[in-house]
Structure 1
Amino acid sequence: MQQDVLTGTAAPEPPPAAPSARRRQIAEGVRDSSSAGLGIFPLGIALGLLIIQAGLPWWLAPALSLAAFAGSLELLLVGMMAAVTPLAAVALTVLVVNFRHVFYAFSFPLHLVKHPAAKAYAVYAMIDEAYAVNASLPEAERSAPRLLAMQIACEAYWVGGGLVGVALGAALPAPVKGLEFALCALFTVLTLDAFRSRSELPSVLLAGTSAVVALVLTPGLAMLTALLLFVALLLARHTLTARRPAVAQEAADA
């Protein structure tokens, strides 16, 4: 129950969404996922093909997609499994590649999802594509059914693409080259969409600077260095941005 500010009495909770409204929100969530799905499904096909070409069992495609559900990480894990990479190196790679999801949680609308099981799934399915699609939506149009429907549809694209890739890999007589570029292309499109919708030019410049510095100073560990440097720059920018209103207020009071 919520308390009415004017009368001091307990105000009733807002009624839950009607079934027709919930169905409309679910349909909108599935429609929201279509743009990301154009990249997720082919990328899933690439994952399935890479698994077959690496000589790994076919069931690894759906198993990885359901256990991890992180496209960039899964593509890296396929190569690491094929090369029998030490477990410590795998653990460090998982930490570095997926550490960005910690910062996603700061602005991802998990507060809209109330049911514990649904919220746990929303956290599990908080992938780059879901974050980018949600960031382009106005605040007033976001809802739990729309968010969850979009995330479920994205996972369906990914798992389905992996199974199609496995079938194609078993049928093709020769390996297909260049599939790993699909991941780079997908991230490029998502970055451009997010930039156009939010005009985050400073973040884009900080990311580019981090990549250039990492490639120059530590070419062998460019990804790790770029991620750590980008995080440090984002934290510094957040600190400066948070202090600016306080400084302005002190100046006005003086």
Structure 2
Amino acid sequence: MQNAPELPLPSSRRREMAQGLKDSFAAGLGMYPLGIAFGLLVIQAGLPWWVAPALSIAGFAGSLELLLVGLIVAATPLAAIALTTFLVNFRHVFYAFSFPLGVVKHPAAKAYSVYALIDEAYAVTAASRDTWTSWRLLTMQLAFHSYWVGGGLTGVAVAALLPGPIRGLDFALCALFVTLTLDAARTRKQVPSVLLAGLSFALTTLVLPGQALFGALLLFLLLLLARYALLRRNAKKDSRLVKETVDA
């Protein structure tokens, strides 16, 4: 009779959770101030304070939430909001190809991990070559969620004390994405992918200015597939040359 798999020891769980919390610190330093900016925008837009935590819990996606504030204020139709949500978050579909979701076994935990698969979580796992575990991954994602919700509530509280609005808060989101890109592209091997991403967005901005983000994602995917095929063909060619040289 096969023995049941042993559960991780409590000390092992604590180490994994501590590592997950440590993994969250770098991106969390950017998420919390961005959450404050989001809370400020909610109040400055004339929305109730509870909109900030409600959006952060119901739809955990920083870039989308910042965009939704403007859409709600403009009384945008629900169909347009749904389409915008799909286009903005469509990139998350591609995250699933390499995100270590398989380490999470419990159905409820896996559902939360899918829900909390944000840009920061993907960037951290993509930049790390370590072995991920369920406790480490979920702790990191829970920490990110806490940073964002806490930042939003802090922004709501700060906005109530300010005498007037603050301009330029939208740039905080752009700054965070620049930081994540630089963190993910630490070696020369990642530089071509960064250049392809820039090229994709530049081309679609000229050709499809109204759907630049969606078009850039599709074009970037095609370029990445083409690069992968080229690298694989060159690797096979080099392997064949080495084999022929050894045989000779």
Kindly provide the CA deviation profile for residues 64-88 of structure 1, in whole angstroms up to 9, marking residues without a partner as x.
Answer: 0011110000001111111111222
Secondary structure of the residue aligned to 2:157 is helix
1:103 alignment counterpart: 94
Percent identity between matched residues is: 62
Corresponding letter in the other structure for 1:24:
R
Matched, 1:62 2:56: no
Matched, 1:163 2:163: no
Distance 2:159 2:124 in 1: 30
The equivalent position to 1:39 in structure 2, one of 25, 30, 33, is 30
Corresponding letter in the other structure for 1:128:
D
Corresponding letter in the other structure for 1:70:
A
The equivalent position to 1:144 in structure 2, one of 131, 134, 145, is 134
Distance 1:183 1:111 in 2: 30
- The answer to whether the 8 A contact 1:46-1:162 is kept is yes
Matched, 1:119 2:110: yes
- Per the TM alignment, residue 220 of structure 1 is displaced from its structure 2 partner at its CA by 4.0
- The answer to whether the 8 A contact 1:45-1:166 is kept is yes
The equivalent position to 1:176 in structure 2, one of 141, 166, 186, is 166
TM-score, normalization by structure 1: 0.87
Corresponding letter in the other structure for 1:199:
K
Distance 1:83 1:209 in 2: 32
Secondary structure of the residue aligned to 2:47 is coil
Distance 1:41 1:198 in 2: 30
- Per the TM alignment, residue 42 of structure 1 is displaced from its structure 2 partner at its CA by 0.5
1:72 alignment counterpart: 63
**Are residues 88 and 250 of structure 1, via their aligned partners in 2, closer, same or farther at CA, if it must alter by over 3 Å?**
farther
- Per the TM alignment, residue 211 of structure 1 is displaced from its structure 2 partner at its CA by 1.6
Distance 1:54 1:45 in 2: 14
Distance 2:53 2:183 in 1: 28
Distance 2:4 2:94 in 1: 31
Corresponding letter in the other structure for 1:100:
R
- The answer to whether the 8 A contact 1:73-1:94 is kept is yes
- The answer to whether the 8 A contact 1:136-1:197 is kept is no
- The answer to whether the 8 A contact 2:90-2:214 is kept is no
1:212 alignment counterpart: 202
Distance 1:197 1:36 in 2: 19
- Per the TM alignment, residue 161 of structure 1 is displaced from its structure 2 partner at its CA by 0.2
The equivalent position to 1:230 in structure 2, one of 220, 234, 244, is 220
Corresponding letter in the other structure for 1:195:
A
Corresponding letter in the other structure for 1:32:
D
**Are residues 238 and 97 of structure 1, via their aligned partners in 2, closer, same or farther at CA, if it must alter by over 3 Å?**
farther
Secondary structure of the residue aligned to 1:41 is helix
- Per the TM alignment, residue 54 of structure 1 is displaced from its structure 2 partner at its CA by 0.6
2:193 alignment counterpart: 203
Aligned residue pairs, count = 243
- Per the TM alignment, residue 244 of structure 1 is displaced from its structure 2 partner at its CA by 5.8
Q: Which runs of 5 or more structure 2 residues have no equivalent in the other structure? A: none
Secondary structure of the residue aligned to 2:185 is helix
- The answer to whether the 8 A contact 1:96-1:227 is kept is no
1:4 alignment counterpart: none
The list of structure 1 runs, each at least 4 consecutive aligned residues, that deviate by more than 3 angstroms after superposition, is: 218-221, 235-253
CA RMSD in angstroms comes to 2.3
